[in-house]
Structure formats: structure tokens, C-alpha cells
Amino acid sequence: EAQVTQNPRYLITVTGKKLTVTCSQNMNHEYMSWYRQDPGLGLRQIYYSMNVEVTDKGDVPEGYKVSRKEKRNFPLILESPSPNQTSLYFCASSFKEPGFNTEAFFGQGTRLTVV
């Protein structure tokens, strides 16, 4: 089954404790990205990757890191989480960058709470 898998689904952590949210896709997609979803703001892009070893900042990259060492995996790293990073996070993938007629596939989301 074609899917994007995120882990964990839920996470409560304390300020400053490094964490990683994993994302894996089995569709051989080149393009992957991370979004955060906050009430009234929709989804905002954090980082994206056009291919292995190619990453770039989205609209809200501060406080986050990513890596793309393999095509299927795109982990999101919070080196020193802060309460304003409490949010619902989604990983997405597609064959190429969003554009004409490109469908994005989303993971189930990770609800992160930083206390």
C-alpha cells in the first residue's frame, strides 16, 4: 500500500530536549516536505527536499532541521524545542515539486506538545 508513515503520532516533551520525528514514504517520490498546522493558519511549510541531499527552507524554518540521506526518509529534527513549536506536523511527498497536476500524499500527522 502506498503510504507516508510518520512516527510518533503523539509526543509530549520538555523545553530544550532534542527530538526527531521520522517520515518515510514507499512510493519512490523525489519531493518531500514538512508542514505544521496551527488553528486559523492552515498548513505552513517548514522545509522541503527536491531529492537526496537537496533540502531548502520553507516559510517557517526557524528552530527546525532536516536531512535527506535516503530517498524514502525525511526526518524533522528539533534541536531545542520550545513551547511555540507545539503544533500538529505533517510530512508530505510527491513525484515532483508541487505544480501542475501534482498530487501530494500526506502522513497521518504528529501531534507535538512542548511543555
Partner 1 sequence: GDSVTQMEGPVTLSEEAFLTINCTYTATGYPSLFWYVQYPGEGLQLLLKATKADDKGSNKGFEATYRKETTSFHLEKGSVQVSDSAVYFCALSGGGYNKLIFGAGTRLAVHP
- 23 to 82, contacts with partner 1 by CB under 8 A? 31, 33, 35, 37, 40-45, 48, 50, 56, 58-59
The 3-state secondary structure of 3-68, one letter per residue: CEEEECCEEEECCCCCEEEEEEECCCCCEEEEEEEECCCEEEEEEEEEECCEEEECCCCCCCEECC
CB closer to partner 1, 89 vs 114: 89
Which positions lie near partner 1, rule CB under 8 A? 4, 31, 33, 35, 37, 40-45, 48, 50, 56, 58-59, 90, 92, 97-104, 106-109
